[in-house]
Amino acid sequence: MKKIVAKALVRNLDGKLLLLYRGKTHPHFPGHLDLPGGEVEEGEQIKDAIIREIQEETGIVITSSQTSEAFEINYPNVNHVLFNANVSENDLAVRLSWEHQGYEWLSVEEIIIRGIDSSMDPYYVDVFNYLVKKSS
């Protein structure tokens, strides 16, 4: 069975998105940009997985009503499902898991200005293009 990964664009009241940075020992793209999320466990609903992953990786607790599916991309070995997750505060305490070494809240405009890195996980290139399209 093909692996399913759920990731989230966590957006605060100011409209800024939570970006994580993978730790130096992360097995895939260490030190690179990441979004909260991860693999959907066997028997788990995708929406439940994204809620669980956001809490595990950031300490932020969200509910099902705060999430909505943005898009799905099917790659040869994995299906990625991207969610929007809206939180009702700006100054949330983020508690990073072992997987990440840092984070920041950025506006879509700030993300677009930074651009994409050619060594980035190809999935994030697709997310970047999605953000550009949505902002225009």
Reading the chain (136 residues) residue by residue, the pLDDT tens digits are 789 999 999 999 999 999 999 888 877 788 888 899 999 999 999 999 999 999 999 999 999 999 999 989 999 999 999 999 999 887 788 999 999 999 999 999 898 888 877 777 888 888 888 888 887 7
Query: Which sign, positive or negative, has the C-alpha torsion 68, 70, 74, 79?
Result: negative
Report d(CA 33, CA 110) in Å as an integer: 14
Length of the chain: 136
Q: Which of 135, 114, 131, 113 is nearest to 123 (CA)?
A: 131
Question: Using an 8 Å Cβ cutoff, are 10 and 87 in contact?
Answer: yes
What is residue 20's three-state secondary structure? strand
**CATH code for the part of the protein at 3-135:** 3.90.79.10
Closest C-alpha among 98, 10, 8 to residue 46: 8
Distance between CA atoms of residues 32 and 80, nearest Å: 18
pTM, two decimals, is 0.89
In single-letter form, the type of residue at position 37 comes to G
CA distances from 6 to 41, 57, 118 (A): 10, 13, 23
Compute the distance between CA of residue 129 and CA of residue 116 in angstroms, rounded to an integer.
Answer: 9
Residue ranges per structural domain of the chain: 3-135
Q: Can you give the pLDDT at residue 26?
A: 77
Cα–Cα distance measured from residue 108 to residue 106, given in angstroms and rounded to the nearest whole number? 6
